[in-house]
Amino acid sequence: MSLSRRFLLLAALAWPLAYAADTTQSREVRLPPGAQGFSLGGTISANGMPMQVQGFLSKQSAVEVIAWFRASLGMPLVENHVGTGMVLGRAQGTEFLTVQIAPAGSGSRGLIAQTDLPAMVAGREEERSLQARWLSRLPSGMRLQSLTRGHDAGRHYQYLVLDSPHSSSLTRNAISNLMQQDGYALEREVRTIAPPSQTLYFRGAARESTAVILAHADGSSAVVLNTILTIDGAR
């Protein structure tokens, strides 16, 4: 569960604001003077929430960067403390902007996300159908903690985090069978002792996938599944 939260935080706050292909309808958000922005991928949908995200690094302290964004974004702002950092949120027309700032050495780092609210509402039913399709093909009792989708550089990807009440071996067989149904063949498998886990590598026509299955002490397990399809391979 903690892995799911960490990933969703990253997915909710990570993308280059100047990304040319998919941000033409988004308002440009200015970075603090001297800050360096960097790309963290293409269009992202996390649990039905479409996002455009970027990261940035600044030589200024987190306190200075937070103050700069407060003045730059204007009011009203929603503010929440997350660990040693701060998350600022503000509605801008049909979008909701989120900025996370945290200390990084003598400077600070940040992640910025812009969420298209109408697209989020329109995509909810599609997202529910996709989640239901995954769960309907897995053993009873498995829960989908997060589902993130996106496309970048001609590829479509999905990133899932699942909790399973079943043993890692049963979960491993279920995931392997499901991937074979979707046109993937198991290429190799790597096992580790600490922590106890299995990593399965799959490949198919214009597609590849990696599944990490973690064994818990109570006999349950968890899955982190990443699938990538090229545009020509999408069904």
pLDDT tens sequence across 22-52: 333 445 678 999 998 886 665 566 555 666 7
The pLDDT assigned to 42 comes to 58
Contact 41, 15 (CB under 8 A): yes
Do 165 and 220 belong to one domain?
Answer: yes
Host domain of residue 136: 123-233
If one counts the domains in the chain, the total is: 2
Do 99 and 179 belong to one domain?
Answer: no
Quick one: which H or E segment has residue 215? strand 207-215
Query: What is the pTM assigned to this prediction?
Result: 0.54
Query: CA distances (Å), 96 to each of 40, 73, 101, 113, 227, in order?
Result: 19, 12, 17, 8, 28
The pLDDT assigned to 24 comes to 35
Do 112 and 140 belong to one domain?
Answer: no
Do 80 and 155 belong to one domain?
Answer: no
Asked if residue 65 has pLDDT above 90, the reply is yes
pLDDT tens sequence across 159-215: 889 999 999 999 999 999 999 999 999 999 999 887 889 999 999 998 999 999 999
Asked if residue 21 has pLDDT above 60, the reply is no
> Which residues, 6+ apart, have CB-to-CB distance to 194 below 8 Å?
none
Query: Which among 87, 120, 153 is the end of a domain?
Result: 120
Angle at 125 between CA 123 and CA 130, to 5 degrees: 95
Do 27 and 111 belong to one domain?
Answer: yes
Query: Which among 120, 140, 165 is the end of a domain?
Result: 120
- pLDDT bucket at 131, cuts 50 / 70 / 90: confident
Sign of CA dihedral 173, 178, 183, 189: negative
